Amino acid sequence: MAAYDDFAWFYHRYWNEEFHSLAFPVLERIWLPQVPAKGRVLDVCCGTGYLAGLLAHRGYRLTGVDASAEMIAHAREHAPAAEFLVGEAAAFQVRGKFDAAVSTFDSINHLLRVEELEGSLRCVAAALKPGAAFVFDALTEGGYRTDWAEGFSIVRKDHVLIISGSGYDARTRMARCTITMFRLVDGAWRRADTEMRERCHSREEIDRALEKAGFEAPVCYDARDLGMGGQLGQGRVFWVTRRRHSRES
């Protein structure tokens, strides 16, 4: 998870708020009406806690889980009312049962194998009360075939970020980009390099993994149909489902 630790500062400063300012109205429309007031909400792959902060401000009791200790450190500072735990998305455990769960910003796509996807959904199901609502988004091929991998840079007096995309491989369903980061810390420049990888899981793979984990048949929404425009909405789909009352098929 070193890649995510190095990226946490840039992610928190530039992308977390930008994405969730567009995604939160979507969640208010398709998911929050199903969440009990002041209910316990599990935020899987919570990143630096921006969404957790929004939900905690609404009175929900938040627990966030992320594999990056540095992301969690930012989250605890950003949303002190919430609880945050370091844990792998495909193998985490939490205490008690939750009234709802959420996972955003193509976190599902960062699970690079179907087995990891299935493991993560099993962990979410195990944490939820029967009937609890779960929402997540994922990028489809339409998102990866646009300008997902286009290079760009951010240059400031005390930090620089350069992203170089290597594109999307339809055969392997893998997308990659290389990230080079410089930050001026305590008077010295620090460099970090990493490669981010995502996998475009098919709708059939996701639906099958949900069924195996113990979720009801999902309802899917195109992000653009819900008003999430621009590149962030391109090729993005939101899944809404519920934990089955019985784990039996």
Question: Per-residue pLDDT tens for 60-109?
Answer: 999 999 999 999 999 999 999 999 999 999 999 999 999 999 999 999 99
- For residue 133, CA distances in Å to 33, 88, 149, 212 come to 10, 21, 33, 16
What is the overall mean pLDDT for the chain? 91
pLDDT cut 90: percent of the chain above it = 74
Helix 50-57 with 69-78: angle, nearest 10 deg? 30
Residue 100, phi then psi, degrees to nearest 5? -170, 165
Question: Per-residue pLDDT tens for 145-199?
Answer: 776 667 789 999 999 999 887 688 889 999 988 889 999 989 999 898 888 899 9
pTM (2 decimals)?
0.93
State the pLDDT at residue 52.
97
Helices (H), 15-147: 16-30, 50-57, 69-78, 114-127, 141-144
- Asked if pLDDT for residue 248 goes beyond 60, the answer is no
Domain boundaries, the chain: 2-143+200-242, 146-198
State the pLDDT at residue 230.
85
Across the range 40-56, mean pLDDT stands at 96
One-letter identity of residue 147: D
Helices (H), 79-129: 114-127
State the pLDDT at residue 148.
65
Task: Report the CATH number of the 2-143+200-242 domain.
Answer: 3.40.50.150
Domain 146-198 matching CATH 2.20.25.110: the answer reads: yes
State the pLDDT at residue 144.
86
